């Protein structure tokens, strides 16, 4: 087997109870969760008990998912698997960045809390929705969005035949109908705002100011950026602040990883969304998930 990539789950993958079993089974996961709890009391209760509507609020989702992602990655490392490169989807990029030591855990977690606050504020100021468009090429999706000037944007280039759009709440139904007319289908996502759009620019500016006082380092492992699909260098603050208002180029990231010799992907965090996208992007890759204790047993196959 060639190189191994860890990919960190993003917003929308959350569910009540996530991480509870891993917390009980893995000392490394428990340490990460406990650290998050010490920085933001109530995080464990929200992760482990919900309720779903509370967990779905951006201000709660992001710190909880960060803790889940990082804990799962630490559990995988504890089980003997070390990645050759990293990427994270949207919020997951911050967990990947922390795992790569661009920022230490505490600083990264505090950044996530700030990120969640700023993005939720923008979402309340500019009410929006997001939907996954299926069965259409990216260019078709881009052209449809142009029919709703200033109200709809392609935001996540996920995999062949799947592009996520974000739009103003009031145009969602019309946009979905237009997608249907083009013989596509749009599935509404479990998020509370129109992320990765110009409506998040105010959050990006606030995060850029916040990061001026943050201590960042070059990543200790190759780390791919959502905004560019290129490797991080010394530009963490710029990339992280731009990321919230720019599209996620996930398909391109996975293709670049494959070109670099990655043939095993370990999704760390809640759900299996990224695994499904990877399967649709590259053929023949070995794909693993770390979410529960039983998942750790399967990791022996990663370097087999």
Q: Which of 196, 241, 245, 275 is catalytic?
A: 196
Active site (annotated) includes residue 90: yes
Residue 146: which residues within 8 A CB-CB, separation 6 or more?
A: none
Q: Where are the alpha helices (DSSP H) in the chain?
A: 20-25, 27-39, 43-49, 52-55, 58-78, 91-99, 105-125, 138-146, 172-181, 201-211, 236-243, 250-259, 273-281, 293-297
Active site (annotated) includes residue 201: no
Give yes or no for a cis peptide into 51 (omega within 30° of 0).
yes
Token pair for residue 157?
């280039």
- Side-chain half-sphere exposure of 266, counting CA atoms within 13 A: 33
Q: Which of 26, 90, 151, 192 is catalytic?
A: 90
Say how far apart CA 187 and CA 178 lie, in whole Å.
Answer: 13
Token pair for residue 132?
């996954």
Residue 227: C-alpha distances to residues 244, 252, 274 (Å):
9, 11, 17
Residue 73: C-alpha distances to residues 23, 83, 87, 100 (Å):
13, 10, 12, 11
Q: How far is CA 253 from the centre of its chain?
A: 13
Say how far apart CA 117 and CA 115 lie, in whole Å.
Answer: 5
Q: For 159-173, what is the HEC assignment?
A: ECCEEEEEEEHHHHH
Tell the residue number behind the tokens 């695994």, with chain if given: 275
Tell the residue number behind the tokens 């482990």, with chain if given: 48
Residues with a catalytic annotation lie at 90, 196
């Amino acid at each position: 087997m060639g190189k191994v990539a860890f990919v960190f789950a993003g917003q929308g993958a959350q569910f009540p109870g996530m991480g509870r079993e891993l917390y009980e089974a893995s000392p490394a996961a428990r340490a990460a969760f406990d650290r998050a709890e010490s920085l933001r009391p109530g995080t464990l209760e929200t992760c482990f008990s919900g309720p779903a509507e509370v967990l779905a609020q951006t201000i709660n989702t992001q710190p909880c998912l960060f803790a889940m992602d990082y804990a799962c990655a630490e559990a995988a490392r504890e089980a003997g698997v070390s990645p050759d490169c990293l990427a994270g989807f949207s919020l997951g990029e911050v967990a990947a960045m922390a795992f790569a030591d661009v920022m230490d855990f505490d600083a990264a977690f505090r950044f996530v809390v700030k990120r969640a606050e700023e993005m939720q504020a923008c979402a309340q100021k500019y009410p929006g929705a997001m939907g996954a468009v299926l069965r259409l090429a990216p260019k078709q999706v881009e052209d449809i969005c142009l029919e709703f000037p200033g109200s709809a944007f392609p935001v996540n280039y996920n995999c062949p035949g799947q592009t996520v759009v974000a739009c103003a709440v009031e145009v969602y139904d019309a946009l979905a109908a237009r997608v249907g007319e083009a013989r596509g289908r749009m599935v509404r996502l479990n998020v509370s705002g129109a992320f990765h759009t110009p409506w998040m620019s105010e959050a990006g500016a606030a995060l850029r100011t916040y990061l001026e006082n943050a201590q960042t380092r070059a990543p200790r492992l190759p780390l791919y950026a959502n905004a560019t699909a290129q490797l991080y260098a010394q530009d963490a603050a710029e990339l992280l602040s731009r990321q919230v208002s720019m599209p996620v180029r996930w398909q391109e990231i996975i293709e670049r990883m494959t070109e670099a010799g990655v043939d095993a992907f370990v999704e760390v965090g809640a759900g299996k969304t990224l695994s499904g996208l990877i399967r649709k992007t590259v053929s023949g890759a070995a794909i693993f998930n770390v979410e529960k204790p039983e998942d750790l047993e399967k990791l022996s196959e990663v370097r087999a």
